[in-house]
Amino acid sequence: MRRLKIVFEPYGRRLEIEEGESILEAARRASIGLRSECGGLGLCGRCRVIVDDSKAVSPPTEAERRLLTPEELEKGVRLACQTRIHGDLVINIPPESRVEAQRIEVKGLRRAVELEPMIWKLPLKLERPKLGDRRGDLERVLEALGGGVDVEWEAVKELPEALREGDWTITAILWGSTLIAVESGDTTENIYGLAVDIGTSKIVVQLVDLSTGEVVSTGAVENPQAIHGEDIMARMTYAMESPENLEELQRLAAEGVNEALKEALSRVDVDAASIYEAVVACNTAIHHLFLGLDPRHLAVSPFTPVVRRGFKARARDLGLNINRGAWVYTPPVVAGFVGGDAVADVIATGLHEAEELSLLIDVGTNTEVILGDGEELWASSCASGPAFEGAHIKDGMRAVRGAIERIWIDEDLEVRYETIGGVKPLGLCGSAVIDAVAEMLRRGILNPHGRLTAEGRRIKPGAPAEFIIAWSGETATGRDITLTERDINEIQLAKAAIYTASKILMERMGVEPSDIERLYIAGAFGSYLNPENAKEIGMIPDVPSERIRVVGNTAVEGARLMLLSKRLRDEAERVAEEMKYVELSNDPDFLNLYPRALYLGRFT
């Protein structure tokens, strides 16, 4: 086989290739972002390049003769996916063929991402059929598209009306090279995707404009699966009892997503039928339940998932109310207890490419902990309970309007607080609970075991003793808002799980908390968490504040990035394969470390 030398201009990138390779393949190997919406099938015509020697490449294919004018061919314009290289060659990539990296804003982060969704739209102007023309509606569309297109039944059902309503102008919606839907007229402006995070307690969706990468609306609901258990083990047990139970949990997850979507759609003028793909990140157990896959083998050694790789299913089969031809992509999972949400966390923060030792803690009912330095990547997941989301706390609530979100305690033990929306308080959200515990520790009225050790007008003795944060006269409920010793105990359990998971990963990598150069706090807290207080109670390692980033929901952000970029899905696949993980329930260190971790105090 002959080896050939090629150069990509204007990059000046040189490459040795094997005779017969296509220009698109070569460009990929040279890491040159060349547009290829149709995946190299000669359909989209976006992969145009200019070659300096027509004799060094294969003759124009049918697709090229369809998509390029004779004058263009004359000038050496070719489709990279169609053109095979047979001699040394200089290839020029014109600006319109380059995939431009967009800066995508992720809370507290800015990732440069090439906008390359799986979904693309192509407007087609067709000829009206005449008598004697034997082509059916579908043949007419497929001829305009060119060969190699797979067709979904749903798309065909809509075809006759779409064609005639739009007076023979339609828009083809393709997932790679599969025709999944058609719409009358030119609807290329309207192209949306859905990024979804199904958490143990909460489902969050982002409605994403696939043409810009922007989030145009969001929605969130409680995960309706919770009626069969707040923790994930209870739900797995329920699912294992019968196939009907599994189906029910599948349906509940889908309904939750539909509800959150409804909320998102209520605020904008977008039709659910304009959403053509959803990317759904969740932990491994919820991943199985959402896909209707039996989770029973996740729970027992050797903790085998049914599907590990990124997977696609039809939205309609799963019960999502988006376009009837839409697909759902679930990112790869890592292991029984480290799921696609952890992978999404990594993709959102770029942790796998980090040049500094970085720790990510994605706090939720299950907390994902990920540690990496650009070489190694370690992950673990622990059941931290819903205390940080305001549940299992006497006066706890979600971080919504009326929740106390920040608390300060003076030296004379008087309390100042702020509520979300600046209204009379209804209860305490997670960040306020952490503030309260940290401040009580600072003021010396709480010992490391979680006992209230002082007296005063704000302290109600008893079993459990309580600390009054807001007097009944100030609250919207007319009752005192307090934090009880039992609440504090919940916080201890939760932070101990996170502490232990983090500690074990650090031990595996042979690093100390003080070595951590970047600490990401992700999860439901949003921007409310005061990292100083989280450090005070030992929930996160004690690193200087400037190293800490509170980054919000990185699972849904990672899902969004995968919605926007095929390349990031490949990267997710690599991350999932290479990530090392610790199954905590199986780890001897866990039982050693956990009791100590219950102590309230700094994590050094």
Binding interface with ligand FES (CB under 6 A): 36-38, 40, 42-47, 79-81
Q: Return left, alpha or beta for 538; rule: phi > 0 is left, psi -120 to 50 is alpha, else beta.
A: left
Which of ligand FES, its own copies, none has residue 313 at its interface (CB below 5 to 8 Å by kind)? its own copies
Instruction: Indicate which single residue of 39, 305, 350, 425 sits in contact with its own copies (rule: CB under 8 A).
Output: 305
Q: How far apart (Å, rounded) are the C-alpha atoms in residues 396 and 403?
A: 8
CB-based contact 360:520 (threshold 8 Å):
yes
Minimum distance from CB of 43 to ligand FES (Å)? 5
Distance separating alpha carbons of residues 102 and 55, to the nearest angstrom: 36
Q: How many residues bind its own copies (CB under 8 A)?
A: 46
The item of its own copies, ligand FES, none sharing an interface with residue 300, based on CB under 5 to 8 Å by kind, is none
The 10 Å Cβ neighbour count of residue 118 is 24
Among 153, 269, 411, 461, binds its own copies (CB under 8 A): 153
What does each C-alpha distance from 305 to 247, 289, 297, 298, 519 come to in angstroms? 18, 12, 7, 6, 30
Q: Of the two residues 35 and 235, which places its CB atom closer to ligand FES in the complex?
A: 35
Give min distance, CB of 81 to ligand FES, in A: 3
Which one, 34 or 333, has the nearer CB to ligand FES? 34
Q: How far is CA 212 from the centre of its chain?
A: 17
Task: Name the one range near its own copies by CB under 8 A: 152-160, 349-357, 409-417, 425-433.
Answer: 152-160
- 135, interface contact from ligand FES, its own copies, none, CB < 5-8 Å by kind: its own copies
Whether residue 448 has a cis bond before it, omega within 30° of 0: no
In the complex, least distance from residue 374 CB atom to its own copies, rounded to whole angstroms:
21
Q: Which of residues 330-349 bind its own copies (CB under 8 A)?
A: 333-335
Report the run of H or E that residue 1 belongs to, with start and end.
none
Specify the DSSP element, H or E, that contains 251: helix 243-266
Spatial neighbors of 206 by CB under 8 A, at least 6 apart, are 194, 195, 196, 215, 217, 218, 264, 556, 559, 560
Quick one: which of 453, 574, 577, 604 contacts its own copies (CB under 8 A)? 577
Told to check if 133 binds its own copies by CB under 8 A, we report: yes
Looking up tokens 């050694």 gives 301
At 347, give phi and psi (nearest 5°): -65, -40
Kindly state the smallest distance separating residue 424's Cβ from its own copies, in Å: 50
Given 12, 302, 461, 510, the residue binding its own copies (CB under 8 A): 302
The site map against its own copies for 81-120 (x = CB under 8 A) is: -----x----------------------------------
Footprint (CB under 8 A) of its own copies, residues 457-516:
none
Q: Which does 538 bind (CB under 5 to 8 A by kind): its own copies, ligand FES, none?
A: none
Contact 525, 431 (CB under 8 A): yes
Q: How far is the CB of 56 from its own copies (least distance, A)?
A: 12
Interacting positions 246-285 with its own copies (CB under 8 A): none
CA of residue 306 relative to chain centroid, distance? 21
| Nearer CB in complex with its own copies: 314/460 | 314
Nearer to its own copies, 73 or 400 (CB): 73
Rounded Cα distance between 489 and 449, Å, is: 9
Under rule CB under 8 A, residue 301 binds its own copies: yes
Question: Is 169 exposed, middle or buried, given 0-12, 13-18 or 19+ CB atoms closer than 10 A?
Answer: middle
Contacted by 79, from its own copies, ligand FES, none: CB < 5 to 8 Å by type = ligand FES
> Contact, 3 vs 16, CB < 8 A?
yes
Using N-to-C axis directions, what is the helix angle for 243-266 and 232-241, rounded to 10°? 130
Judged by beta carbon, residue 47 or residue 579, the one nearer ligand FES is 47
Binding region for its own copies (CB under 8 A) out of 158-166, 199-207, 226-234, 450-458: 158-166
d(CA 592, CA 266): 50
> Applying CB under 8 A, does 456 fall inside the site for its own copies?
no
Cβ nearer to ligand FES, comparing 49 with 483? 49
User: Coil, strand, or helix at residue 46?
Assistant: coil
User: Binding of its own copies at residue 165 (CB under 8 A)?
Assistant: no
Q: In angstroms, what is the minimal distance from the CB of 138 to its own copies?
A: 5
Enclosing H/E stretch for 17: strand 13-18
Nearer to ligand FES, 44 or 465 (CB): 44
The distance of closest approach from Cβ of residue 317 to its own copies in the complex, given in angstroms and rounded to an integer, is 6
Instruction: Pick the closer one to its own copies by CB: 204 or 291.
Output: 291
Shortest Å, Cβ 266 to its own copies = 26
Question: Which of ligand FES, its own copies, none interacts with 242 (beta carbon under 5 to 8 A by kind)?
Answer: none
Following DSSP, what letter does each residue of 433-499 receive, concatenated? Answer: HHHHHHHHHHTT-B-TTS-B---STTEE-SSS-EEEEE-GGGSSSSS-EEEEHHHHHHHHHHHHHHH
159 binds its own copies per the rule CB under 8 A: yes
Q: Rounded to whole angstroms, how far apart are CA atoms 279 and 312? A: 9
Judged by CB under 8 A, does residue 588 bind its own copies?
A: no
Distance of closest approach, residue 147 Cβ to ligand FES, in angstroms: 12
- Are the C-beta atoms of residues 390 and 430 closer than 8 Å to each other? yes
Query: Which residues, in sequence order, are CB contacts of 378 under 8 Å at separation 6+?
Result: 370, 371, 372, 505, 508, 509, 579, 580, 581, 582
Q: Rule CB under 8 A: is residue 132 a binding residue for its own copies? A: yes
> CA-CA distance, 61 to 51, in Å (whole number)?
15
Question: Identity (one letter) of the amino acid at 5?
Answer: K
Binding site for its own copies (CB under 8 A): 1, 20, 58, 86, 129-139, 151, 153, 156-157, 159-161, 164, 291-294, 296-297, 301-309, 311, 313-314, 317, 333-335, 577
